Chains A and B, each alone.
Chain A
Amino acid sequence: NAGVTQTPKFQVLKTGQSMTLQCAQDMNHEYMSWYRQDPGMGLRLIHYSVGAGITDQGEVPNGYNVSRSTTEDFPLRLLSAAPSQTSVYFCASSAPLGGGDTDTQYFGPGTRLTVL
Chain B
Amino acid sequence: KNEVEQSPQNLTAQEGEFITINCSYSVGISALHWLQQHPGGGIVSLFMLSSGKKKHGRLIATINIQEKHSSLHITASHPRDSAVYICAVPNAGGTSYGKLTFGQGTILTVHP
User: Which A residues lie at the B interface, using CB under 8 A?
Assistant: 30-33, 35, 40-45, 48-50, 58-59, 88, 90, 92-95, 101-107, 109-110, 112
CA distance A59 to B1 in the complex (A): 10
Is the CB–CB distance between B86 and A105 below 8 Å? Answer: no
- B80 proximal to A (CB < 8 A): no
B35: which A residues are within 8 A, CB to CB?
Answer: 105, 107
Is the CB–CB distance between B91 and A45 below 8 Å? Answer: yes
B31: which A residues are within 8 A, CB to CB?
Answer: 103
Is the CB–CB distance between A103 and B104 below 8 Å? Answer: no
- In the complex, the chain B residue whose C-beta lies closest to that of A109 is B42
A94: which B residues are within 8 A, CB to CB?
Answer: 96, 98
- In the complex, the chain B residue whose C-beta lies closest to that of A58 is B99
A106: which B residues are within 8 A, CB to CB?
Answer: 45
Is the CB–CB distance between A43 and B102 below 8 Å? Answer: yes
CA distance A95 to B42 in the complex (A): 20
CA distance A30 to B97 in the complex (A): 9
Query: Given A45-B91, A48-B98, A95-B98, A103–B30 Cβ distance below 8 Å?
Result: yes
B94 to chain A, nearest CB (A): 11
Is the CB–CB distance between B30 and A40 below 8 Å? Answer: no
A107 to chain B, nearest CB (A): 4
- Chain A contact residues: helix, strand, loop or mixed: strand
B6 to chain A, nearest CB (A): 9
- B13 proximal to A (CB < 8 A): no
CA distance A112 to B102 in the complex (A): 19
What are 13 residue pairs bridging A and B, where the CB atoms are less than 8 Å apart in the complex?
A42-B103, A45-B100, A45-B101, A58-B99, A59-B1, A59-B91, A102-B95, A103-B31, A103-B95, A107-B44, A109-B42, A110-B41, A110-B43
Is the CB–CB distance between A48 and B42 below 8 Å? Answer: no
B36 to chain A, nearest CB (A): 11
Is the CB–CB distance between B105 and A105 below 8 Å? Answer: no
> Chain B 67-107, CB within 8 Å of chain A: the 1/0 string?
00000000000000000001010010001111111111100
Is the CB–CB distance between B43 and A107 below 8 Å? Answer: yes
For window 8-67 of B, CB contacts with A under 8 Å fall at 30-31, 33, 35, 41-45, 48
